[in-house]
Structure 1
């Protein structure tokens, strides 16, 4: 066998393998998700949101009802790619907590929950440059980016988040583009 034919066959089989793997992962993220599974993950979503925005002297994400907002956004306002990635991410968090800590995420200590969330935050960082753009376009945002985005959005638009965690003025006066904050003052929800 001559070298040219051998190299051509290697490239052909390598390219075919890459195309099959890419097609399988593309199908994996674009198939119709089973959104009924989302209901069983509501306690996990609530705990994950609480780790992102914990309760201090202001209400946390769980008491603001952010988990219901996240479920609604995933179910009604997200594409199939985002729904599938979110469901696979929840499965990954549940299985990671079981393998690393021998208990469910909900029953882990605060330190263990923070370590698990830090692991998934580090894991979900997007690639740099062109590969990151292609990955984001083909597969959507990562699980943790979606979770974080919807947690912050849900908290800032909730009644408790807007009124008790941020300064809220029911009827704002004139528009001011830049308002300096005083020491100890909360950020504005309306201005």
Structure 2
């Protein structure tokens, strides 16, 4: 056997071994999103959103209809790789609950829901290395937890119940004041 062909073969095998997972991940995130699955998991999305913003003296995320907003935004506004990441995150939550608690997320106790939710931010690698985190985000997009948290908060704060009852709302705010101090136990402003 010629040494040159052997060295080329070793290099090609090593490159394939290193590149195969990246190619697989890219193909997985570039596939056509299953939007029917997303719509069918409306109840799960509502329960996850309610875990972030629970109902107290102010309305929770489910009362504000955040799940409709999240489904609309994921279906129409996000890039394909982030849509697939979001759908994969929903799959992981369902699988984790069925495996660990033998029930769906919606039927879990509050303590179990909080445990599942605390697992989500740590589901990606490189959470201690900022450089690798940036490379990972550029390649795969935002994580499921980051997307879900952002969409829940934006959906809640822009909904009528969230803006009027969850936040301090002044229908006619008057003149612009650049710096207003908050009083003790005051809600954040929705309009100022």
TM range (shorter): over 0.9
* TM-score (normalised: structure 2): 0.92
Q: Which residue of 1 aligns with 2:39?
A: 39
Does 2:155 match 1:154?
A: yes
SS in 2 for 1:44: helix
Measured at CA, do residues 131 and 6 of structure 1 come closer, stay the same or move farther in structure 2, by a change above 3 Å?
farther
Q: Which residue of 1 aligns with 2:84?
A: 84
* TM-score (normalised: structure 1): 0.92
- Unaligned stretches of 5+ residues in structure 2: none
How many equivalent residue pairs? 191
Shift of 1:129: 2.8
Q: Which residue of 2 aligns with 1:21?
A: 21
SS in 2 for 1:169: coil
Measured at CA, do residues 178 and 8 of structure 1 come closer, stay the same or move farther in structure 2, by a change above 3 Å?
farther
| Aligned partners of 1:124 and 1:144 also within 8 Å | no
SS in 1 for 2:62: coil
Deviations 1:113-155 (A, max 9, x none): 0100001123247643332222111111011100000000000
| Aligned partners of 1:124 and 1:145 also within 8 Å | no
**Partner Cα separation in structure 2 for residue 166 and residue 124 of structure 1:** 33
Q: Which residue of 2 aligns with 1:118?
A: 118
Measured at CA, do residues 5 and 177 of structure 1 come closer, stay the same or move farther in structure 2, by a change above 3 Å?
farther
SS in 2 for 1:74: helix
Where do residues 60-75 of structure 1 align in structure 2 (5 Å cutoff)? 60-75=60-75
Q: Which residue of 2 aligns with 1:138?
A: 139
Measured at CA, do residues 125 and 151 of structure 1 come closer, stay the same or move farther in structure 2, by a change above 3 Å?
farther
Deviations 1:138-182 (A, max 9, x none): 111011100000000000000000000111111221222221111
RMSD: 2.0
